[in-house]
Structure 1
Amino acid sequence: MTLPVDLETDAARLRAIMAEDLAVRGVLDDPAWRAAVEAVPRHRFAPGFYLPGEERDGLGLTVWQPVTAALDPGRWLAAAYSDTTLITQFDGDEPDWEHPAERHGGAPTSSSTLPSLVVRMWADADVREGHTVLEIGTGTGYSTALACERLGSAGVTSVDVDPYRLERAASSLHGCGYAPTLAVADGVYGYWPEAPFDRIVAACSFRAVPPALVAQTRPGGKILLTLSGWLYGYARVLLTVSGDGTAEGCLLGGTVSFMSARTHAAPAFGNPAHWAAELPGEARDARHGPERITAATEEAFHLRFLVQSAVPGAQLATVGDVVHLVDVVSGSAATLTPDCEGGWRVREGGPVRLWESVERVVDVYEAAGRPGSESFTLSVHHGGQHLRHPRVPCLPLPSPEGRPGRSRTASGRTGHSSSQLARE
């Protein structure tokens, strides 16, 4: 995209302001990465995107407003050089940016990640000159461009599962003079033709560490990725790979979230009322209410991640004032209904007592002194993947193929093994 001279001048000025702001905030303390941010024209990677409106619609859905240079060049350029995630796609449907329309609700499936997080990821992965890197999730290509500016295009490989997204990113990258290796590929399997890599950085989230990524990293190399789950609990981890095919690393702090790798996305589970109708009539008092994992706090964000390790097949939905947990793998469900005294009543059914499993994790977390994310270590070994902490029984991650593990439950039925914390 070629802009009038005055807009290109404005873009350069806004780019410098953004870099200075990131530096003042302590995000951009590496001169080489700052130079990359000042050089890469982010607006060329986001010719159109959506921003949320100030008010929701009558159904409570977010109203997403299209922003392009044709519609409002000032707003478009200002947003491109703000520290904001720019949504470029919903529900896998590519917008018609020649005739963009307002959207109501929808699930974002592609975006240009906010610059502070992009730079933070490259820095956290300890990417340096001479490294070969694999980026999973090309998206708009802006992050790829920063890596090319820092390392040179020859050291950068980037893959995306969406062919149209990759085609647009390739056009933007080549238009800016960058020529990394690009491929349409599922990041769960890495990219063997260019392996091994010194660093692998994922801009999407996984339920567990894909084995292919460990296999494609040189001994001593590092993998930075975000772990997530069907309860939408997130944690970032930086793993160091050993020569024997294992990897280990600490969880990182913060409340970062990414869209799921499409093969790890949560399945549809139908109408929560249908699941609730099958539950027994008797209810019990909840020891812990759902706000322990749903509150807008860093602790709840972290605790939700730990909890979903114990119930990896569970999903959460709120209808009115009733909170539903549904597990499509085991056929289990639970509902939490507020009582008149400020507490919650629980009904559970199926081979896995979902909320009882959640409460057990919260109990252990409390007894351990509420340890923060940085005190947990993720171990990826030939027997599985486990979160470890000195004062918490280890928590297994789901199968790296994206399906929860299955085991024999106490009732003799085959269900998913989420009702207890594992000890090794």
Structure 2
Amino acid sequence: MTVPADLEIDAFRLREAMVKALAEDGVLADPGWRAAVETVPRHRFVPGFYLPADERDGQGLTVWEPVTAEVDYGRWLAAAYSDTTLITQFDGDEPDWKQAAVRHGGAPTSSSTLPSLVVRMWADADVREGHTVLEIGTGTGYSTALACERLGSADVTSIEVDPHRLKQAASALYACGFTPTLAVADGLYGYWPEAKFDRIVAACSFRGVPLALLAQTRPGGKILLTLSGWLYGYARVLLTVNGDGTAEGQLMGGTVSFMSARTHAAPMFGNPAHWAAGLPETGRAARHSPERITAATEEAFHLLFLAQCAVPDAQMTTVGDVVHLVDVMTGSAATLTPREGRWEVSEGGPVKLWERIEAVLSAYDEAGRPGPQTFTLHVYDGGQHLRHPQLPGLPLPRP
């Protein structure tokens, strides 16, 4: 299929409609960010992406269909100007969009984040004119372009761990007239050549706060991060960096999640049945249901992150009706099995994984079920601790 000659006209109309919808949702209250979204052509940054098919395959895997202007012009352009995250890469494999094939399953490793969240991230970090900014995770470059439009390219540095992704983003940025500082680099270490920064914003998640980022932020500057871990619990935090190299900030509400920094991705743990085989045949009644941290609710989203702080090296998977917890660092494991209206726990190894999670859940209930904004993260040379006035401190793993 040939791309229509009036592509830019079609894109302009769809962009106008997207801006109107985002404004009605209260996303574009800041006129500076509204002007940026009105100006930056998102379609230039997503020449191809994957959208899920309506039905899964015979093995229950999501079928991902490649979408480009040549394959389906209307679907491609409409999706580019929808408030949707567009997956651009799976398992670190850079697709050839001229010959892209349907995929079955896979782990997303790069995307163009939905525009409302991109704007929210920049706004939540209190990014304003005159600030120098480091963005971790260039991705497609769309978020970078919005920052350049608002601040000017000279004040924007963006780093990306994947050289193929950065090459594509750089081409799109330069074609649109944006010239930020770009580099292939691991966000865990920031980017010293352009430090120090007024703001650091990460479009990936970390198990803990990388200390290099504190050292690269001016006193009084801010770092907006998404924290995650091997249980896939998430929390966002806006840290203010102090003059002594420490930082602190409150957790933020909502259910935002980002892909993990590649160096913080969870390790493989093998067959859950092998881990379960070494556990006692009979267990005890669980004090809390695993549904408290797996339900599709905002509270469960918050609780999963707190549980993850209690067992930072644990991973969780469900096979049939049985929930498995596996800790590859200590060799500990646990299963939760439904038994006639209750859950039975069987645990083995040096760390009683579910027992630790139960302790956090019980303390949370006793404290009146406090929300994320009541927790403060403190980062200092001796470690990182999440604190609440009525709860014991929860340490984060060192990144």
TM-score range, shorter-chain basis?
A: over 0.9
| Partner Cα distance (1:392, 1:51) in 2 | 43
Partner of 1:15: 15
Q: Is contact 2:3-2:70 (8 Å) kept?
A: no
| Partner Cα distance (1:382, 1:212) in 2 | 11
- Report the RMSD for the aligned CA atoms in angstroms: 0.9
Query: Letter of the aligned partner of 1:101 in structure 2?
Result: A
Residue correspondence of structure 1 range 138-217 to structure 2 within 5 A:
138-217=138-217
Runs of 4+ in 1 over 4 A off after TM superposition: none
Query: Letter of the aligned partner of 1:156 in structure 2?
Result: V
| Partner Cα distance (1:224, 1:311) in 2 | 24
1:253 lines up with 2:253 in the alignment: yes
Q: Is contact 2:321-2:338 (8 Å) kept?
A: yes
| Partner Cα distance (1:164, 1:101) in 2 | 19
3-state secondary structure, aligned to 2:93? coil
Q: Is contact 2:133-2:199 (8 Å) kept?
A: yes
Query: Letter of the aligned partner of 2:377 in structure 1?
Result: L
* CA deviations over 1:139-177 (Å, ceiling 9, x no partner): 000000000000000000000000000000000000000
| Partner Cα distance (2:7, 2:388) in 1 | 53
Partner of 1:89: 89
Residue correspondence of structure 1 range 19-418 to structure 2 within 5 A:
19-340=19-340, 342-400=341-399
Q: Is contact 2:3-2:69 (8 Å) kept?
A: no
| Partner Cα distance (2:293, 2:53) in 1 | 27
Query: Letter of the aligned partner of 1:107 in structure 2?
Result: A
3-state secondary structure, aligned to 2:166? helix
Gaps spanning 5+ residues in structure 2: where? none
Partner of 1:404: none
Partner of 1:421: none
| Partner Cα distance (1:224, 1:230) in 2 | 20
| Partner Cα distance (2:244, 2:5) in 1 | 55
Offset at residue 280 of structure 1 (A): 1.7
The number of aligned residues is 398
3-state secondary structure, aligned to 1:337? strand
| Partner Cα distance (2:51, 2:370) in 1 | 36
* CA deviations over 1:192-219 (Å, ceiling 9, x no partner): 0000000000000000000000000000
Offset at residue 381 of structure 1 (A): 1.3
Offset at residue 343 of structure 1 (A): 1.0
Stretch moving more, 283-292 or 185-194: 283-292
| Partner Cα distance (2:68, 2:114) in 1 | 18
Offset at residue 251 of structure 1 (A): 0.5
3-state secondary structure, aligned to 1:330? coil
Query: Letter of the aligned partner of 1:398 in structure 2?
Result: P
3-state secondary structure, aligned to 2:6? helix
| Partner Cα distance (2:7, 2:161) in 1 | 33
| Partner Cα distance (1:240, 1:79) in 2 | 36
* CA deviations over 1:377-396 (Å, ceiling 9, x no partner): 11111211111111111111
Offset at residue 15 of structure 1 (A): 0.6
| Partner Cα distance (1:134, 1:4) in 2 | 37
| Partner Cα distance (2:365, 2:56) in 1 | 37
Gaps spanning 5+ residues in structure 1: where? 401-424
| Partner Cα distance (1:210, 1:376) in 2 | 19
* CA deviations over 1:229-264 (Å, ceiling 9, x no partner): 100000000000000000010111100000000111
3-state secondary structure, aligned to 1:318? strand
Stretch moving more, 236-245 or 273-282: 273-282
Q: Is contact 2:209-2:398 (8 Å) kept?
A: no
Offset at residue 272 of structure 1 (A): 0.4
Offset at residue 282 of structure 1 (A): 2.3
| Partner Cα distance (1:151, 1:74) in 2 | 32
Offset at residue 100 of structure 1 (A): 1.2
Query: Letter of the aligned partner of 1:173 in structure 2?
Result: L
Query: Letter of the aligned partner of 2:366 in structure 1?
Result: A
| Partner Cα distance (1:173, 1:308) in 2 | 38
TM-score using structure 2 length: 0.99
